[in-house]
């Protein structure tokens, strides 16, 4: 697979990891759509084919993920870290993700939160992605010696559901416009097999609406920085969510 950094853009690539074929779309699809609409190259990495899911075959879920990635304006890569419900946080897995980081050379990496009370695959991928961004910048790591080191600007964790949000840190709220909401809804609807379990589309729209109300806007999604965010001016702070 060719590095997406070859795509002409003034914006650094966005690299997003998900454990299952629908995690990125349901959890942070609105942000991905908005960034792609701005011209940012987006590369999505799914770490299983949803083999253990109650609904949808791996082939069906592959097709749904491919369709969703096209709608989001990104490229899709599916890798095997042990299979759905069998992903574990390992150093070998972190090196696999670090190799992708070195190849794609993103400015920002996003991955699921590491909270305990959620699908264990989500937390495992989040932890491996966090470790991978460190491994990607270590120039002397022999297992990755064939690729130049790469340091990203920031890692952001995304919750896939409301219960996956960390309780011990403040979120960054990302506004989702009405136009982007329409587009994001179509992206989520591409995962039709998963709608047999629950109406995840309505759930995510309601979650985004609640976050938007908190911030005094129509819809929003929350992101959690792995490291402190550095600003060069107070003008870069675009308001707060304290509207009550």
Using CA atoms, how far apart are residues 133 and 131, in angstroms rounded to an integer?
Answer: 6
Domains and CATH numbers, the chain: 9-162+172-227 (3.40.50.10320)
User: Model pTM?
Assistant: 0.93
Average pLDDT for runs of 10 along the chain of length 244: 43 96 97 97 96 88 96 97 95 98 98 95 98 97 96 97 92 96 98 91 97 92 95 84 60
How far from 227 is each of 23, 162, 236, 237, CA to CA, in Å? 23, 21, 17, 17
Q: What is the pLDDT of residues 170-200, one digit of tens each?
A: 999 999 999 999 999 999 999 999 988 889 9
Q: Which pair of structure tokens corresponds to residue 99?
A: 């190799």
Using CA atoms, how far apart are residues 230 and 183, in angstroms rounded to an integer?
Answer: 31
Q: What is the pLDDT of residues 86-102, one digit of tens each?
A: 999 999 999 999 999 99
């Amino acid at each position: 697979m060719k590095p997406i950094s070859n795509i002409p853009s003034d914006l650094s690539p966005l690299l997003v990891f998900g454990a299952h074929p629908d995690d990125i779309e349901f959890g942070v699809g609105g942000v991905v759509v908005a960034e792609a609409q701005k011209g940012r190259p987006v590369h999505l990495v799914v770490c299983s084919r949803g083999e253990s899911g109650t609904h949808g075959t791996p082939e069906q879920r592959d097709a749904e993920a491919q369709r969703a990635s096209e709608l989001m304006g990104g490229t899709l890569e599916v890798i095997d870290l042990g299979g759905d419900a069998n992903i574990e946080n390992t150093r070998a897995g972190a090196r696999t993700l670090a190799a992708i980081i070195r190849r794609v050379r993103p400015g920002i990496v996003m991955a699921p939160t590491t909270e305990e009370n959620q699908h264990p695959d989500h937390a495992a991928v989040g932890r491996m992605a966090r470790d991978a961004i460190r491994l990607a910048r270590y120039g002397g790591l022999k297992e990755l010696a064939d690729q130049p080191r790469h340091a990203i600007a920031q890692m952001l964790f995304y919750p896939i559901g409301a219960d996956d949000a960390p309780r011990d840190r403040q979120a960054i709220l990302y506004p989702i416009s009405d136009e982007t909401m329409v587009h994001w809804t179509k992206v989520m609807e591409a995962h039709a097999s998963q709608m047999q379990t629950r109406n995840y589309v309505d759930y995510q729209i309601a979650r985004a609406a609640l976050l938007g109300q908190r911030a005094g806007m129509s819809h929003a999604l929350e992101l959690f920085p792995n490291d402190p965010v550095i600003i060069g001016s107070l003008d870069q702070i675009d308001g707060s969510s304290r509207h009550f």
